[in-house]
Amino acid sequence: MLVLVINCGSSSVKYDLIDTEHQKGYCRGLVERIGAVTSIVKHQPENGKNTKETKVIQNHTEALKEILSYLLGPDSKVISSVSDIKAVGHRVVHGSDMFKDSVLIDDDVKEAIEQAFDLAPLHNPPNLKGIEAAMAALPDIPHVAVFDTAFHHSLPPKAYLYGIPNRLYRRYKIRKYGFHGTSHYFVSRQYFKLILDKPSKTKVISCHLGNGASIAAIEGGKSVDTSMGFTPLSGMVMGTRSGDIDPSILFYLVEKEELPLSNLHALLNRHSGLLGLSGFAADMRDLILEAENGDRRCQQAIDVFTYKIRQYIGSYMATMNGCDAIIFTAGIGENSALIRQKAVENMEFLGVKLDEDRNEAAKPGEITRISQDDSRVAVYVIPTNEELVIAIDAAKIAQASDQSPWI
Ligand code: AMP
């Protein structure tokens, strides 16, 4: 089934056209800087030339029109008719405590996504905008919402409750939700396929290390803890996000610098993390280069990042009473042998023995075991594919729905 996967940000629409039967991408692309004087439109067809143009795209509806007209266009010929697309899968960041699974979108679902605006003000509003625009452009096929939070619904209360008055949890749903669920789900399933085993007893620690970073403890195939929390700001130090800090720092800063709330928000979301620590860059490649050139603060940023990974691995091994495999994924996890090495070197006492040659030799895009044969804990690099998870879920739900073109 051909599924269009859509991931909308406040000024961007990312798409991926996927054939779920053959698990193959046909075309992907991105419209960015929507609403600016000029927007950038990129398309990467599987069998064709990549294109990059500047155009005037005022809103998400125009972005969707632009994407469909490219897919149908004489130059790309990716599809011959919009009716080739049988379903649309939408990435929705926050499903609050309402969505345990992906769901066919109707008015109630849209309203529930809107109710979660407060919980993810940067993500859910544009996600809903994308849903509205895509439903208007493709009104006759099923649209499915796939939530970043859904996989973490299995967290037990001891992992998701914060040490604040319980009435705040009951009144405002303040709890840990966790994110990157589709990625943690995908790589853990890839691992289960690899070892030809059912997930029933297996314990996995999945390290999604990209610009956003989170680590998840997965037991019996279910997420039992994860580093992100109420919002995607907490846990690991990330590209520009601070990760966990002592909450008192906020009170202190309000007093010392008289910062309004909006500035604190920007400080922790956009000016902290690797960028804030290094004072140089959020991009791990730049930091590694500068650290090699002797920049002390870039080196410190890398050290803080890898120290945090080690802390999470140790802590999840303790809470799960061991672990069978550690998985590295996403931009940094898949591509940086150095970060992987610093994250798990000298961990023999926990049963982790890294094979440095295998680690160095791991190729982008391939599943690679990077631990030694006799390592009690296997360590793997497994490329993530969140879009495929969204497409497969959308196809499953679309096929089962009344709106399916086959019924
Ligand atoms: P993502 O958000 O998954 O696209 O990952 C983006 C992050 O991956 C950025 O910090 C990149 O610098 C990092 N990254 C990509 N390739 C490499 C590489 N070869 N070495 C180190 N970091 C990389």
What is the DSSP track for 276-338? HHHSS-S-HHHHHHHHHTT-HHHHHHHHHHHHHHHHHHHHHHHHHT--SEEEEEHHHHHH-HH
The mean pLDDT value of the chain amounts to 95
Rounded to the nearest whole angstrom, what is the distance from the C-alpha of residue 124 to the centroid of ligand 1?
25
88-113: per-residue pLDDT in tens?
Answer: 999 999 999 999 999 999 999 999 99
Percent of the chain clearing pLDDT 70 (strictly above): 99
Instruction: Give me the amino acid identity at 340.
Output: R
For 145, the 3-state DSSP assignment is strand
- Ligand 1 atom closest to the CA of 211, numbered from 1: 2
Q: Is 295 a catalytic residue?
A: no
Confirm or reject: Cβ of 281 under 6 Å from ligand 1: no
Q: What is the residue with the minimal CA distance to atom 23 of ligand 1? A: 332
The strand pairing partners of 88, in sequence order, are: 4, 143
Radius of gyration of the chain (CA): 22
Question: Separation of 314 CA from ligand 1 center, angstroms?
Answer: 24
pLDDT at 272 > cutoff 50:
yes
Q: Is the CB of 384 under 6 A from ligand 1?
A: no
pLDDT tens-digit series, residues 47-91: 889 999 999 999 999 999 999 999 999 878 889 999 999 999 999
Contact 200, 210 (CB under 8 A): no
- Give the rounded percent of residues in the chain with a pLDDT score beyond 90: 92
Banded model confidence at residue 402, pLDDT cuts 50, 70, 90 = low
Fold match between domain 2-147 and domain 197-386: yes
- Distance between CA 384 and CA 406 in Å, rounded? 31
pLDDT of 407 strictly over 50: no
Q: Domain map of the chain by residue range?
A: 2-147, 197-386
> Taking 80 as the threshold, does the pLDDT of residue 378 lie above it?
yes
HSE on the CB side for 163, CA within 13 Å? 1
Residue 74 pLDDT = 82
Query: In the structure, what pLDDT confidence band is assigned to residue 261 with cuts at 50, 70 and 90?
Result: confident
The residue type found at 49 is K
Quick check: CB of 272 below 6 Å from ligand 1? no
pLDDT at 157 over 80: yes
- CATH of region 2-147: 3.30.420.40
Average pLDDT for 307-319: 98
* pLDDT score of 403: 64
Query: What is the 238 CA–ligand 1 centroid distance (Å)?
Result: 11
- Tokens, residue 27: 């075309």
Q: Which atom of ligand 1 is nearest to the CA of 288?
A: 21
Q: Which CATH class is domain 197-386?
A: alpha beta
* Residue whose C-alpha is closest to residue 192's, from 344, 42, 333, 378: 378
Per-residue pLDDT for 404 more than 80?
Answer: no
Interval between CA 25 and ligand 1 midpoint (Å): 21
Q: What's the predicted TM-score (pTM) here? A: 0.95
Cβ of 385 less than 6 Å from ligand 1: no
pLDDT at residue 406 greater than cutoff 70: no
Catalytic residue among 118, 140, 148, 357: 148
**Sign of the Cα pseudo-torsion (85, 331, 357, 318, in order):** negative
Nearest to 128 by CA among 265, 41, 10: 10
- Would you say residue 153 has pLDDT above 60? yes
Distance in Å, CA 285 to ligand 1 centroid? 6
Q: Is 210 in the pocket of ligand 1 (CB under 6 A)?
A: yes
Distance 333 CA to ligand 1 centre (A): 8
Q: Which of 335, 339, 342, 363 to mutate to test the pocket of ligand 1 (most atoms within 8 A of CB)?
A: 335
* Chain segment 164-205, per-residue pLDDT in tens: 999 999 999 999 999 999 999 999 999 999 987 777 789 999
Probe target for ligand 1 pocket from 28, 332, 342, 386, with the most ligand atoms within 8 Å of CB: 332
